[in-house]
Amino acid sequence: MRFASIAPYKRAQKVSGTKNMETKSSCPYCGVGCGVIIQHDGARVIEVRGDPAHPANFGRLCTKGSTLHFTTRPETRLLYPELRSSKGEARQRVSWDQALDTAATRFADIIKAHGPDSVGFYISGQLLTEDYYVFNKLMKGLIGSNNVDTNSRLCMSSAVAAYKQTLGADAPPCAYEDFDHSDCMLIAGANPAFAHPIAFRRIEDARAARPDKKLIVVDPRRTDTAASADLHLAILPGTDIWLFNAMLHVLLWDGYVNLPWVRAHTEGFDALRDAVREVTPAVAAGICGVKAEDIVTAARWWGEAQAPMSLWCMGLNQSHHGTHNGTALIALSLAVGKIGQPGCGPFSLTGQPNAMGGREVGGLANLLSAHRDLANPEHRAEVATLWGVDSVPEAPGLSAVEMFEAVRAGKVRALWIACTNPAHSMPQQALIREALEKCEFVVLQEAYANTETAQYADLLLPASTWAEKEGTVTNSERRITHVNAAIPGPGETRADWAIARDFALKLGEKLGRVDAPRLFDYPTVEAVFREHAESTRGRDLDITGLSYAVLDELGPQQWPFPEGAEQGASRLYAEGKFSTTSGKAQFIVPATSLTAESIDARYPLRLTTGRLRDQWHSMSRTGKAARLYNHVDEPRIDLNSSDLDRRSLRDGDLVRVKSRRGSVILRAHVTEEVRPGHAFIAMHWGRNVLSSSGANELTLNNVDPHSKQPELKHAAVQIEKVELPYQALLMRSAVHADVANSLALERAAALEPWLRRFDYAAVSLAGRDFAIVVLRIAHSAPIPAEWLEQLDALMDLQGEHCMAYADARRGVSKKALVEDNMLTGLRLTGETAAGGWLKELMIERAPTDTVRRWLFAPLPKAPIASVGRGRIVCNCLNVAESEIRAAVAEGKDLAALQATLKCGTSCGSCVPELKRLIAAGTPASV
Ligand code: SF4
């Protein structure tokens, strides 16, 4: 679609008749890259809505994007630079000048004493392209090391390596509009219904318009994406290559391979053909744990399709053979010669909002600007000439896992972390904590004050964030959006690119680099963009035709967009000419190993990790919006009922989950989404909300040899029941809406240091307009009375409006705070079963007569009339699972549910779950 035909893409405009302004930006969560319109008054974000003119989403947003305005509150922001003089000391507020001067001195001293490779930068796919560009130049052009890596290493580096090995360039050849043209879609290792919801809405629309379209989903779990498929291949973790090879075997055997095209446009096919000769569907079925006939069906649907298309994400990438997972999938497109045409091709869904932009500027330890390779001497010389430096270093830098290993070993002595949270997101957390504790000097450049990594920082630098900064981002389909600042950042926050520039100038001075002022002569962020665009001239991603003005005029554009172009390229390789040296695509014979760690008698469960629908990564942003907890309100491990039965466990029991690297305590949640012998933990919960580090306490750091991406997706674990008889539940809301959210956020942050005093503790939010902070505790010993008193004080559960009841003989106590005839505070010990309906009383802000009666009753049963609504499925319209179940039991279909309850009629994120509940026909386990 030619974007110029839509309304001009203006930066900001006044909303008629109000004091409000509107500014166009992009959602900072997933790689779909939806356009948003920020409504604000110049100081505060008031509301967010989807941009109808943005070609990624055409006005739609998912639950996360549509609640962005709830996440911009300043309470948990980092507002000023803070520095500590030595480890163990409290940080003190300092000026920016002192902060950057100290950082420059420490880095310069270490570089002079130990060389440029003794420092490292660990940055983020959340950064804008311009931020990335300056950091990359700072490390490779000024310091003279390639030790700059990013959390994109954990996310997309296997897809990068797979594209480069097969197609010759890190360039997804497809566009979202191809969803409409494809007649067979294969989604492998991805759950877009949760992780890329607006892309999934587009797939749903395409299927509705074309009911004969086939959808195959490959995933060990029966996710909402898998449940909606025509064919779900629930393979065992790590067996993807066997499945894809068996599909290729069938394509060969049944004559679907387009041999003339393969001979004309590819190389290496014969070797792969020989390698898959013995990989029959029967062989693969035994390894993958699926039926042979289903593999044959998938292959035949693929072979018969006019326009077969694959999509993949973390399920393939986060593997110790993630690159070959990708090359094996890409081989299926090459074998049938269906790439570069409408509806065809292998499409890697980007996890983070700007993982693509980071790759474009070479923001990984093995890359250089504009998709140049560090290993290529000509590319190094080109970049040196572009930057006006003598050379860029030759030796590859340290990838994410290697960097933290080097920090732990004392080889990297100063570490600068920007816009990411490795003390939550890296695998094998015990090693990461050890590295961060040992590191001589840790700088954390962050928007939020209380991420798990913040406690390790010697220097905290406050960064501006979404809605406050300008630059560009590139989404999964190579589309660049100009992101605009709507409001100024709070306190002394600065844009990330400006922090990196200012540090570079000071460091250059300390290192005696007289060229630093010229290298970092960026008066504006657009000056950075112009230099980046120029660096792409003649490259596969040439964007010399783009500027902020062009992006504002034409709207977001796909690359390449060379000088003189009128629009970007929807898809690549239409002529069958690829970016390899020979111009031919390459078939790769993949490694056929399985998971990095096998199950055995001690660790018999296959744990996979993934994402929830309404949370994003380590929750530093989504964790601030109470309503985003309403879909899943407590950390948990999903298990099949048979695995609970075998261990005499019940749904809701606390279990200890152990791997060879660590253990965590979580609540067991029974679901048929996971197969017997499998388990699932969402990756979002870490030490800020939980008494442990969550999933990454268990994961392992084995990496793919090509991409260096760690196997975050899978680990072998065991579970056992844990007896924690001393339980407590504390909840606190507020009478007035204008303070409820601030107080809840402040109290949640204050509770964080308490979490690790208990064997199990989890803090979360609840409610919608009046946020409630919820603290759940389970402990092996009686909870000391003074701890409870301190927690009461922290939650402000005291004063004349507090009612209390205690039964020392039964070990039960109840404390309730009633204000304006509403329950606004609660603490239960000993018996917490009534917490569910009491929480709902607080959410509903119902009159408290029933509470008074219940409070002084010896048995803590919920009044009959106070049955809870339960989990919220439709977050936009606040529709609960119990209401949907009741309507389904009456025979209502999706249309009837939408007509009566209105669920699924706003952002649509809950529609896959509604369909699943309808299909189940009875109360489904969720
Ligand atoms: Fe944001 Fe949701 Fe769009 Fe992803 S799909 S960019 S999270 S609104």
Ligand 1 within 6 A of CB of 33: yes
Q: Return the residue matching tokens 């954390």.
A: 444
Nearest CA to ligand 1 atom 3: 34
Beta strands in 703-782 (DSSP E): 714-721, 726-732, 760-766, 772-779
Residue 909 CA: nearest ligand 1 atom is 2
So what's the pLDDT on residue 924?
A: 42
Residue 616 CA: nearest ligand 1 atom is 7
So what's the pLDDT on residue 13?
A: 55
Substitution candidate for ligand 1 out of 26, 38, 61 with most atoms within 8 A of CB = 61
Q: Please give the Cα distance from 364 to 98 (Å, whole number).
A: 29
Ligand 1 within 6 A of CB of 62: yes
Distance from residue 62's CA to the centre of ligand 1 (Å)? 6
Q: Are 630 and 875 in contact (CB under 8 A)?
A: yes
So what's the pLDDT on residue 833?
A: 82
* pLDDT tens-digit readout, 392-439: 999 999 999 999 999 999 999 999 999 999 999 999 999 999 999 999
Q: Please give the Cα distance from 689 to 257 (Å, whole number).
A: 51
Q: Please give the Cα distance from 361 to 364 (Å, whole number).
A: 9
Ligand 1 within 6 A of CB of 30: yes
Substitution candidate for ligand 1 out of 25, 26, 32, 477 with most atoms within 8 A of CB = 32
Distance from residue 822's CA to the centre of ligand 1 (Å)? 36
Those residues of the chain that have pLDDT short of 70 are 1-19, 857-868, 922-926
State pTM to two decimals. 0.94
Substitution candidate for ligand 1 out of 70, 198, 352, 615 with most atoms within 8 A of CB = 198
So what's the pLDDT on residue 451?
A: 94
How many residues are listed for the chain in this entry? 926
Residue 196 CA: nearest ligand 1 atom is 5
Distance from residue 226's CA to the centre of ligand 1 (Å)? 20
Ligand 1 within 6 A of CB of 908: no
Q: How far is residue 72 CA from its own chain's centroid?
A: 18
Substitution candidate for ligand 1 out of 51, 67, 179, 196 with most atoms within 8 A of CB = 196
Q: Please give the Cα distance from 210 to 114 (Å, whole number).
A: 62
Q: Please give the Cα distance from 284 to 240 (Å, whole number).
A: 10
Residue 57 CA: nearest ligand 1 atom is 3
Distance from residue 80's CA to the centre of ligand 1 (Å)? 30
Q: Write the CB contacts of 922 (distance below 8 Å, at least 6 apart in sequence).
A: 889
Q: Please give the Cα distance from 202 to 176 (Å, whole number).
A: 8
So what's the pLDDT on residue 832?
A: 85
Q: Are 439 and 407 in contact (CB under 8 A)?
A: yes
